[in-house]
Amino acid sequence: MLVKIPAVLSPAQVQECRAMLEAANWDDGKLTAGHQAVQCKHNLQLPMDGELAQQLGNFILARLGDNQQFLAATLPNKIFPPMFNCYRGGGSFGDHVDNAIRRVGGVKIRTDVSMTLFLSEPDSYEGGELIIQDTYGEQKVKFAAGDMVVYPSTSLHRVTPVTKGARLAAFFWLQSLIRSDEQRRLLYDLDMAIQALTNKDAAEPELVRLTGVYHNLLRQWSET
Q: Which residues contact 105 (CB under 8 A, 6 or more apart)?
A: none
Other C-beta atoms closer than 10 Å to the C-beta of 190 total 17
Per-residue burial over 37-55, b = 16 or more CB atoms within 10 Å of its CB, e = otherwise:
beeebbbbbbbbeeebbee
Please give the full DSSP string across 55-94, using - where no structure is assigned. HHHHHHHHHHTT-HHHHHHH-EEEEPPPEEEEEETT-EEE
Q: Is 184 marked within a binding site? A: no
**Is 157 part of any known ligand binding site?**
yes
CB 115, CB 71: distance < 8 Å? no
DSSP string across 143-163: PPTT-EEEEETTS-EEE--EE
Question: How distant, in Å, are the alpha carbons of 54, 71, 84, 202 from that of 12?
Answer: 20, 23, 18, 34
Output the known binding site for Fe cation.
Answer: 96, 98, 157
Output the known binding site for 2-oxoglutarate.
Answer: 167
Output the known binding site.
Answer: 96, 98, 157, 167
